[in-house]
């Protein structure tokens, strides 16, 4: 009998996680009785040390707010994770802790599915770990991008409709509008959005955030974060199961 294989997710206030259901469904489909997936809600990143003591822990996903902070606790990073400066997937192999970034993979698949020829300038809203993966993918695809956050030169106070109009891809990477705070929305000049825009909101719960609803009212093509999430999870599954030396 194969020994138990444990997986999980670390983050803060993450009871609503997509990942647990996604992986438990996968175990069922593949008839893997010896796999389990747990939620590890950490108040502080240093609590991750306790996780590393769990026997049979194969790896875990990482979500807000630990995608950058986890790096100090790892032995090695994939090239992508190193370039991005954020990790959302950890593999534990023979006691060695290796960080990967599968957000980039998931976002790139989403982007290439929806992007049109004229989509060559982007605004990234937010500057956390997810935004770093987005920036990396946009650079890779020769799309020039500007970051908009509270503390960047271009911020939510000086962003105007003309700037929005000139950047036909807008990626919403902040947690604003996530369940249960579904009425919340970034202060954003929606009047700058047109039919030519592609709006990607990385939030998947709810399906349609206030941000997406407001953008679609202006005729923009809108996409939520569900496909990206699914794809990054598939990539993580691959890393945990097929990278065995």
User: Does residue 182 sit in the same domain as residue 91?
Assistant: no
Q: What is the pLDDT of residue 17?
A: 77
Are residues 109 and 222 both part of a single domain? yes
Identify whether 160 is part of a domain: yes
Predicted structure pTM score = 0.92
Please check whether residue 236 lies inside any domain of the structure: no
91 & 49 share domain: yes
**Percent of the chain at pLDDT exceeding 90:** 91
> Which residues, 6 or more positions from 99, have their beta carbon under 8 angstroms from its beta carbon?
70, 71, 74, 76, 77, 78, 81, 87, 89, 90
Q: Are residues 11 and 27 in the same domain?
A: yes
- Looking at the structure, tell me whether residues 19 and 85 fall in a common domain: yes
> Do residues 83 and 60 share a domain?
yes
Q: Does residue 114 share a domain with residue 94?
A: no
For residue 205, being part of any structural domain is answered with yes
Instruction: Determine the Cα angle at 227 with ends 225 and 232, to 5°.
Output: 95
pLDDT of 243 reads 55
Once rounded to an integer, what is the mean pLDDT over residues 21-26?
96
Q: Residue 146 sits in which domain range?
A: 104-227
Instruction: Give the CATH number of the domain where residue 124 resides.
Output: 3.40.50.720
* Claim to verify: residue 128 and residue 75 sit in the same structural domain: no
With cut-offs at 50, 70 and 90, classify the pLDDT of residue 245: very low
- Of 50, 81, 101, which residue sits at a domain end? 101
* Same structural domain, 97 and 183: no
Catalytically active residues, by annotation = 67
- Looking at the structure of the chain, the number of domains it has is 2
Residue 243, domain member (yes or no) = no
- pLDDT score at 78: 97
The residue from 101, 129, 152 where one domain ends is: 101
CA distance 191 to 179: 25
Give the model confidence (pLDDT) of 138-183 as tens digits: 999 999 999 999 999 999 999 999 999 999 999 999 999 998 999 9
Per-residue pLDDT tens over the stretch 113-130:
999 999 999 999 999 999
Tell me whether residue 93 is in a domain: yes
- List the CATH number of the domain containing 82: 3.40.50.10860
Q: What is the mean pLDDT of the chain?
A: 94
Average pLDDT over residues 204-233: 96
Boundary of a domain, candidates 101, 132, 150: 101
Res 2: pLDDT: 55
Query: Averaged over 32-60, what is the pLDDT?
Result: 95
- Predicted confidence (pLDDT) at residue 89 exceeds the cutoff of 70: yes
Whether 89 is in a domain gets the answer yes
């Amino acid at each position: 009998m194969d020994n138990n294989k444990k997986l999980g997710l670390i983050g803060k206030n993450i009871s609503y996680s997509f990942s647990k259901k996604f992986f438990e469904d996968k175990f069922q489909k593949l008839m893997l009785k010896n796999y389990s997936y747990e939620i590890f809600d950490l108040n502080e990143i240093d609590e991750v040390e306790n996780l590393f003591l769990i026997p049979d822990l194969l790896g875990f996903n990482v979500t807000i707010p630990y995608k950058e902070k986890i790096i100090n606790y790892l032995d090695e990073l994939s090239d992508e994770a190193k370039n991005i400066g954020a990790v959302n997937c950890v593999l534990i192999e023979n006691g060695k802790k290796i960080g990967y970034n599968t957000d980039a993979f998931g976002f790139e698949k989403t982007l290439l599915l929806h992007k049109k020829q004229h989509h060559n300038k982007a605004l990234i809203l937010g500057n956390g770990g997810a935004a770093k993966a987005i920036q990396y993918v946009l650079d890779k695809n020769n799309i020039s991008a500007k970051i908009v956050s509270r503390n960047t030169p271009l911020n939510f106070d000086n962003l105007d409709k003309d700037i929005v109009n000139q950047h036909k891809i807008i990626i919403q990477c902040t947690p604003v509008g996530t369940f249960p705070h579904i009425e919340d929305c970034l202060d954003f000049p929606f009047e700058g959005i047109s039919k030519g825009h592609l709006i990607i909101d990385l939030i998947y719960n709810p399906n349609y955030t206030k941000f997406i609803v407001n953008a679609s009212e202006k005729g923009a093509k809108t996409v939520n974060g569900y496909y990206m999430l699914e794809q990054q999870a598939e990539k993580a599954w691959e890393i945990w199961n097929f990278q065995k030396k």
